[in-house]
Structure 1
Amino acid sequence: MDGTILDDMRSALRGPVIAAQDPAYDEARKIYNAMIDRYPAAIVRCSDAADVMAAVDFIRDRELELAVRGGGHSGAGLCEVDDAVTIDLSPMRWARVDPVARTARVGGGSQLGDLDHAAHAFGLATPAGIMSTTGVGGLTLGGGHGHLTRKYGLTIDNLVAADVVLADGSFVVASESQHPDLFWALRGGGGNFGIVTSFRFRLHPVGDVVVAVTLWPADQTREVLRWYRDFLPQAPEDLNGFFAALAVPPAPPFPEEIHGQRMCGVVWCWLGDPEDADAALAAVQEPGKPIFHFTAPMPYPALQSMFDELIPTGLQWYWRGDFFDRITDDAVDVHAKYAENLPTDLSTMHLYPVDAAAARVDPEDTAWSYRDAVWSGIIGGVDPDPANAETIRQWCVDYWDELHPHSMGGAYVNFIGEGESQDRVKATYRDHYARLTGIKNAYDPTNLFHANQNIEPDR
């Protein structure tokens, strides 16, 4: 990008504009997934909604390419594009709670930990992810699920309103009563329709929770997964538990003698009376005695940050996902095969429940089209060493290729990996894709916002 354009951009914006010649450039372009190594023409760190409006106008009027970065957690690296201008919302990182109305307003560059911390002071929370470092924006616009989903639904089911900068540079509030078509699309349609500079969420009573981790040897995956698929959907909605294939981390609370061992397990969150947690979890003995079973009460933000140090920014990542309405015996065999052959100690597979409260929302109420799903699955190849990038990618692809025929066809849009086809996006939105295309035509007819799992305008 030539110096004249950079000077004009710096004059137009309040926040810093970082270009390739600037000392801060290499650090500024880093994102969560170190497998993504891209070189934007410039990174614009917007300080407020006015800055975002000015940046959109500047980029559009000069026919530059645009990408949007919230928390920088995109597994496919969609928050950065070579030679494009990245609108970086990270300075807009704040959360403000109204404890009387039980709502929270959250800046577009915030991470989940910011929301969790602010809400916990009032004994409140909203369902959103399992890691405090995840960006609020990307997670919410994709739909959002987490430890509280069986009780309180998806993140988008708790979205009350959003402040949005549109492709023409204008600012609108989207809600059930204002721009309701846009609000519908934002709830699951990704970053296709504008840049959300703040979100307003409904909060629920959540203080300390009881956390449990139960592990069995990987060679018991068949027995454990068959038990889990039958047990969890009929369990009380106060109990959430995601299934995982993993290597045991070399850290507390895990005893040293099982560090590094391949295991299958469930991470549980109990929202009911702590005195009832042991009874709710008594069934973990049924598929075979666990190697490890740990329970402890802890503040909800502590659960949300439990995995942060295990998988920090800067690792190699490749992931793919799918929705499942059932876990067939054939799918169990596929999971068992790959659980026993994890390529690296950080590679994993998770099955997140999206039933119960999430399933009771009418499928037509939001862009999320899989209200009939029971699990949202992700296969993640993870390792710190770039030399292992192809190994973890191939393991993930092979696993997914074998498992996908047993899925519902589409995936949580945030779990679609780099290089997957446009057909995957269409499969993810099913019958909603046509309606989303119409809303795209209305709000972004030139596809300015295309650095995402793109919904293309048709005019």
Structure 2
Amino acid sequence: MKINGFRGRLITADHADYDTARAVWNGAVDRRPRLIARCGGSADVAAAVRFARDHDLEIAVRGGGHNVAGTAVCEDGIVIDLSAMRAVRVDPAGRTARVQGGALWGDVDHTTQAHALATTGGIVSHTGVAGLTLGGGIGFLMRAHGLTVDNLLAAEVVTAEGDVVRASADEHPDLFWALRGGGGNFGVVSSFRFALHPVGPTVLAGPIFWAADDTTEVLRFYRDFAAEAPDELGTVVRLGTVPPLPAIPAELHWRPAVAVICCYAGAVDDGERAVRALRRFGTPLVDLLAPTRYAAFQAATDDTVLHGWHYYWKSTNLAGLSDDTIAVITDHAYAARSPRSYSAMFHMGGAVARVPQDATAYAGREVAHNIIIDGVWLPAESGKHAAAETAWARRFLQALQPHRATGVYVNFLDSDDDTGRVREAYGDRTYRRLAEVKAKYDPDNAFHHNKNIGPG
């Protein structure tokens, strides 16, 4: 098989690397594409798009391959694979970085931290830059520096016609608006240019764990603590079991617990003052909050969500942390059967909320917290855990229905049973505007193997 103008690598089912190349982060996804086109640059991406359109092939686009729904791989179509395109180039004087579309956040942090700079990225270093960015970009730096999309300055995009265009505030501004939260609906982003901020290289970061029996009291304290927290303090609440990480005493491994994970995007001394009340609350099982290298902190939980494990997600925005909401969370968080399952709650606000609602396609500016419910089990445990963890996540979400705020973070939507929630992620007004941009740049909906927005 040959693609005109393509200089990358073509992988078909008879290739020795086929099974490795088609595998994505969520091992529960098992699809067999007809062709994987591993690109070396924008010209290869454009050639692959034109080939797919000429041959009426289903198109999947792979950046980091980390989306829980497995949209990076399709059945009997073509995967336009950017995983070989991972270059990161930093302009330290201008505080910007140009990042190729197949890069992971670990690539970005590694390169930018050499200059004590960073931008808001994911909370796991093997998350793909493209998917996280295009959906909005939640991370520990967002309260100080905005979502990832708020730091996007420009993008190089291959359109459904196979043209290479630049999207920015001055060039194709409608496309630029849509890319900042509207997902992979509008083209293949071959590179991004981000604004960077002084961060680290040493930050105050890490988790504090309390026993599961203390969850109600911890969450009630956290509600008030988070409401008064400075923008520099990013926090994530994790509820599940204590992961068996080297830094955690072995006697605590797999014990049900609630953790508040912190990262202070400023001077360590200021961070110490900001977290003092949290550290003094109750009787923690272990306090691992300490000065640490930012890049190392970003990768600290990588081994708790490994490639090839099976995942099933549910998520929602929360109206607040009322006592009733906390009661629901406490009642359901520890009911999973798999010890690897967990839920996580993200504190929004700060710089995220100060961006005008219509400035980007990301629609959750007013939300204070959102929650993700992650069923996780090993491939060999599917018979034991798959149905139970899926049911647990659904029950948990259903119990939260009376306490939900409008919307859901689009990057947290799972597979088929979340398809109807795409409009919910944006709201009617933003969704209609996205559909108009879709109609202009992809009227045939060639890029539909995603959290799809149809042309309107």
Displacement after TM superposition at 1:421 (Å): 4.3
Query: What amino acid does structure 2 have at the position aligned with 1:405?
Result: P
What is aligned with 2:388? Answer: 391
Task: Please give the per-residue CA displacement for 1:239-282, whole angstroms capped at 9, x wherever unaligned.
Answer: 11111102112233212222111001100112232223332212
What is aligned with 2:402? Answer: 405
| Percentage of matched positions with identical amino acids | 45
What is aligned with 2:236? Answer: 242
Counterpart-to-counterpart distance in 1, 2:382 and 2:167:
42
Query: What amino acid does structure 2 have at the position aligned with 1:386?
Result: S
Counterpart-to-counterpart distance in 1, 2:321 and 2:77:
42
Query: What amino acid does structure 2 have at the position aligned with 1:95?
Result: V
**Given the alignment of the two structures, is residue 114 of structure 1 paired with residue 107 of structure 2, yes or no?**
yes
Query: What amino acid does structure 2 have at the position aligned with 1:31?
Result: V
Alignment of 1:99-248 (within 5 A): 99-207=92-200, 208-248=202-242
Counterpart-to-counterpart distance in 2, 1:134 and 1:404:
29
Task: Please give the per-residue CA displacement for 1:201-256, whole angstroms capped at 9, x wherever unaligned.
Answer: 00000011011311111122111112112211211112111111021122332122
Query: What amino acid does structure 1 have at the position aligned with 2:454?
Result: E
What is aligned with 1:3? Answer: none
Displacement after TM superposition at 1:423 (Å): 3.2
Query: What amino acid does structure 2 have at the position aligned with 1:408?
Result: A
Query: What amino acid does structure 2 have at the position aligned with 1:412?
Result: Y
Counterpart-to-counterpart distance in 2, 1:253 and 1:174:
43
**Given the alignment of the two structures, is residue 367 of structure 1 paired with residue 361 of structure 2, yes or no?**
yes
Aligned partner of residue 238 in structure 2, secondary structure: strand
What is aligned with 1:454? Answer: 452
**Given the alignment of the two structures, is residue 423 of structure 1 paired with residue 420 of structure 2, yes or no?**
yes
Task: Please give the per-residue CA displacement for 1:91-143, whole angstroms capped at 9, x wherever unaligned.
Answer: 11110000000000000000001110110000100011111100000000000
Task: Please give the per-residue CA displacement for 1:263-307, whole angstroms capped at 9, x wherever unaligned.
Answer: 011001122322233322121256522222122211111011001
What is aligned with 1:4? Answer: none
Task: Please give the per-residue CA displacement for 1:409-437, whole angstroms capped at 9, x wherever unaligned.
Answer: 32111100112344311111112001001
Contact 2:209 2:285 in 1 (8 A): yes
**Given the alignment of the two structures, is residue 281 of structure 1 paired with residue 275 of structure 2, yes or no?**
yes
Query: What amino acid does structure 2 have at the position aligned with 1:281?
Result: V
Aligned partner of residue 445 in structure 2, secondary structure: coil
Query: What amino acid does structure 2 have at the position aligned with 1:393?
Result: T
**Given the alignment of the two structures, is residue 300 of structure 1 paired with residue 294 of structure 2, yes or no?**
yes
Counterpart-to-counterpart distance in 2, 1:127 and 1:325:
24
Counterpart-to-counterpart distance in 2, 1:309 and 1:293:
20
Q: Match for 1:440 among 438, 441, 445?
A: 438
Q: Match for 1:86 among 79, 87, 92?
A: 79
Counterpart-to-counterpart distance in 2, 1:446 and 1:19:
26
Counterpart-to-counterpart distance in 2, 1:310 and 1:427:
30
> What's the RMSD between the two structures over aligned residues?
1.3
Please say which of residues 413-422 and 286-295 is displaced more in the overlay: 286-295
Contact 2:136 2:181 in 1 (8 A): yes
Counterpart-to-counterpart distance in 2, 1:186 and 1:279:
38
Counterpart-to-counterpart distance in 1, 2:318 and 2:438:
28
Contact 1:219 1:340 in 2 (8 A): no
Contact 1:221 1:339 in 2 (8 A): no
Please say which of residues 247-256 and 347-356 is displaced more in the overlay: 247-256
Contact 2:204 2:272 in 1 (8 A): no
Please say which of residues 135-144 and 317-326 is displaced more in the overlay: 317-326
Q: TM-score, normalised by structure 2?
A: 0.96
Contact 1:325 1:372 in 2 (8 A): no
Query: What amino acid does structure 1 have at the position aligned with 2:284?
Result: P
Q: Which runs of 5+ in 1 are unaligned?
A: 1-6
Query: What amino acid does structure 2 have at the position aligned with 1:103?
Result: T
Counterpart-to-counterpart distance in 2, 1:290 and 1:229:
17
Query: What amino acid does structure 2 have at the position aligned with 1:433?
Result: Y
Q: TM-score, normalised by structure 1?
A: 0.96
Contact 2:279 2:287 in 1 (8 A): no
Runs of 4+ residues over 6 Å off in structure 1 = none
**Given the alignment of the two structures, is residue 76 of structure 1 paired with residue 69 of structure 2, yes or no?**
yes
Contact 1:142 1:188 in 2 (8 A): yes
Counterpart-to-counterpart distance in 1, 2:272 and 2:231:
15
Counterpart-to-counterpart distance in 2, 1:422 and 1:432:
17
